[in-house]
Amino acid sequence: MNRRYIMLGGGGIVALALIAVWQTRSPNQQIPSESGNGGAIVAVLSPPVEGNAAIGKQIFESACAACHGVNAVGTKGVAPPLIHKTYEPSHHGDEAFQRAAALGVKSHHWPFGDMPPVQGLTRGDVAMIVTYIRELQRANGIL
């Protein structure tokens, strides 16, 4: 089966799920607009985060958001969304994020090219980022 059709079919399911979640979201959750994120690839619920996830959000915003977008929604033509089924723990475990930050990643799921290593992040920093990403994934029905 053609990957484009698989992605479009999954996108339709995700869109329906987001509509259902949107209708039941709490007032303090927000969905960023595409225009507010330079071409977001997905729209996500962004719940308030605390503890390690809040620390991870701060690190993500300074080290990752320039490419992966605010709330990890991806940026058209630049980098994929991390709030996506492709990055759920059963497909990309926490160590995959560690390796991606430390070593970079060859392009394999998305047509954005290779990801270079991210300089200046410790394993602890990446662990906090992963905690934040997993919270966003959970809020969006991916976990």
pLDDT the model gives residue 123: 97
User: Total domain count for the chain?
Assistant: 1
Segments in the chain below pLDDT 50: 1-37
Q: For residue 76, what are the CA distances in angstroms to 52, 110, 126, 137?
A: 28, 11, 23, 20
| Element holding 9 (H helix, E strand) | helix 3-24
Residue 38: domain span: 3-139
Dihedral sign, CA of 35, 41, 46, 50? negative
Q: Token pair of 85, please?
A: 């089924």
The domain that contains 129 carries what CATH number?
1.10.760.10
pLDDT the model gives residue 38: 56
